[in-house]
Amino acid sequence: MAKVVKFGGSSLASAEQFKKVGDIVRQDENRRYVVPSAPGKRFPKDTKVTDMLYACYDLAEAGKDFRGELEAIEARFQEIIDGLGLSISLTEEFQMIESNFREKAGSNYAASRGEYLNGIIMAAYLDFEFIDAATVIFFDNEGNFDADRTNGVLSERLKDCKYAVIPGFYGAMPDGRVKTFSRGGSDVTGSIVAKAARVDVYENWTDVSGFLIADPRIIDNPKGIDIITYRELRELSYMGATVLHEDAIFPVRQEGIPINIRNTNAPEDNGTWIVGSTCQKSKYVITGIAGKKGFCSVNIEKDMMNAEIGFGRKILQAFEENNISFEHVPSGIDTMTVYVHQDEFMHKEQKVVAGIHRLAKPDAIDIESDLALIAVVGRGMKSTRGTAGRIFSALAHANVNVKMIDQGSSELNIIIGVANEDFEAAIKAVYDIFVLTKL
Ligand code: ASP
C-alpha cells in the first residue's frame, strides 16, 4: 500500500500548520510521497507566497529594486524554519534566486520557488529525500505537459525511493527552463506523481473536509459529499465548484486511482472520495448542485429550420468565426438557442448577429442577457423516476421562472437556465427538496 499526499498552501502557511502536516504524514507509513504547495495565507488578509513572488519578479523585470520584497519572502520561510526548530539555511538559495531574478529568469521560475523552497523545508522536517520537480516533470517546446516523458523518468526515479518530497506546481522545458502549471497546479503534480508511482490512493489535503453538495455562500451549512465519481465531479467543477484543479483528475483517472480530499485542520473527517465508479448510492438522489451567472442566450428563428440541412452548423460557424465558445444549444422545430458567456460575447455580438444573417438567413434573432445556468448532478438520477418533476415543482413553488432545460443524455445532469436574479433562490429550492426534505 502506498499513498501520495498533497498539501495545499493553507496547510503549509506557518510552522504550526507544518506540524499538523508532519503528524498526518508520520501517522501512516504508507504516506510515502509528499507534494507541497507554497505557503498560503496565514490569516484572511495575508498574501500567498506565490503572489509575493510574482510581485517581486515584476519589479525585477522592470529593472526596479526588488530586494525588500525578496527579503519579506525569505522572512516567511525563515519563520517556518525557526518555528519547526530546523537548522537548515536557505541563504544560498536566496542568493541564487536574487541573481536569477536579475538575469530575468522569467515569472514561471519566480513563482515556482515557493514550492521549491517549501519542498526543501518539508524534506528536512520529515527526513524524506528531496526531488526537484524540474528533474522529473517535463513540458514540451510548446509548453504543454509531456505526460509520456514525465511518466517514464518519474516512475524510474521513484522505483527505489521509499519516501520523498516532490514540490508541486512546476517542471522543466526541454531547454531546462522552469515552467509552471496554471494556478493551483500542485494538485496536478500530486496526480502525476500518484500515476507514476502507481499508488493506491492520492490524498489531497486542504482546508475543507471535501466537497459540499452546494456552495456554502448560498446554502447555510450544506451537507458534504462522501463519494463522487470523476464524471460527476467534472460536471460540477465545470459549473464553478472549486476545490481541486480541474486537470488533476486525468492522470489518476486513467490508472483507476481514487482521490481522497481531506482537511488538514480536521484530519479525523473522512472527506470526499473521488472514484471512477461505485455501487455505493449517494445519500440523496442528487450528488451536488453548482452554477454560474453571466450568460446570454441568442435565440434564432427560421420557419422550416428543421428541414434545412446544415442550419445548425451555419449558426455555430458564426460563433466559431468570432472565437466564441458555446455552452448549450437547446432547439425547437423552428428555433435554435445558443447559450454563451456574456463577457465573451458582449463585445462581439453585432459581428455574430451579422454572421448568422449572412450564413443562415434567419427570420429573427433575439438576444437575452443576465442569465444563469445551474447544473443538478447525480449518478442516482438515472435510476430514480421523477427527478426532473421534483426539480421543476420546487422551482415553481419558489417562484422561479425556468428559461431553459437540458438533460444530458447520460442522465447524469440536468441543466437549468434562469434569470441571474433567481440564481440563489433556484439553488436553495433544489437543495431543500432533495437534501432537507428528502421528498
Ligand atoms: N502555489 C501555486 C498557486 O498559488 C500553486 C498551488 O498552490 O497549487 O497557485
Q: List, as one string, the DSSP characters of 132-143.
A: -GGGT-BB-TTS
**Residue whose grid cell is 434569470:** 419
* Cα Rg of the chain, angstroms: 25
> 50 C-alpha vs ligand 1 centroid, how far in Å?
7
Distance of alpha carbon 214 from alpha carbon 233, whole angstroms = 13
- The pLDDT assigned to 410 comes to 74
DSSP letters, 352-406, are HHHHHHHHH--SEEEEEEEEEEEEEE-GGGGG-TTHHHHHHHHHHHTTPPP-EEE
- State how far the Cα of 170 lies from the Cα of 77, in Å rounded to an integer: 19
Atom of ligand 1 nearest to the CA of 37: 7
Least Cα distance to 125 among 75, 86, 167 occurs for 86
Pocket of ligand 1 (CB under 6 A): 9, 37-38, 48, 50, 114, 168-169, 183-187
Ligand 1 atom, smallest distance to 245 CA: 8
The H or E element that residue 69 is part of is helix 67-84
- Ligand 1 centre to CA of 36 (Å) is 9
CA of 148 to the centre of ligand 1 (A): 24
Atom of ligand 1 nearest to the CA of 48: 4
What is the CA(262)–ligand 1 centre distance, in A?
Answer: 17
CA nearest ligand 1 atom 5, residue: 184
Tell how far the Cα of 188 is from the centroid of ligand 1, in angstroms: 10
Shortest-distance atom of ligand 1 to CA 187: 8
Distance 168 CA to ligand 1 centre (A): 8
53, 169, 187, best to mutate for ligand 1 pocket (most atoms within 8 Å of CB): 169
Q: Which residues pair with 126 in a beta bridge?
A: none
Q: What is the pLDDT of residue 423?
A: 97
C-alpha 180 to ligand 1 mean position (Å): 9
Residue owning the nearest CA to atom 8 of ligand 1:
184
Ligand 1 center–CA 291 separation, angstroms: 24
Tell me which residue has its CA closest to atom 6 in ligand 1: 184
Q: What is the pLDDT of residue 438?
A: 65
Nearest atom, ligand 1, residue 51 CA: 4
| pLDDT tens-place values along the chain, 439 residues long | 999 999 999 999 999 999 999 999 999 999 999 999 999 999 999 999 999 999 999 999 999 999 999 999 999 999 999 999 999 999 999 999 999 999 999 999 999 999 999 999 999 999 999 999 999 999 999 999 999 999 999 999 999 999 999 999 999 999 999 999 999 999 999 999 999 999 999 999 999 999 999 998 899 999 999 999 998 988 888 777 777 898 999 999 989 999 999 999 999 999 999 998 888 777 888 999 999 999 999 999 999 887 889 999 999 999 999 999 998 898 888 899 999 999 999 999 999 999 999 999 999 999 999 999 999 999 888 878 888 889 999 999 999 999 988 887 777 889 999 999 999 999 999 999 999 886 5
Nearest ligand 1 atom to alpha carbon 169: 5
Q: How far is the CA of 323 from the centre of ligand 1 (A)?
A: 29
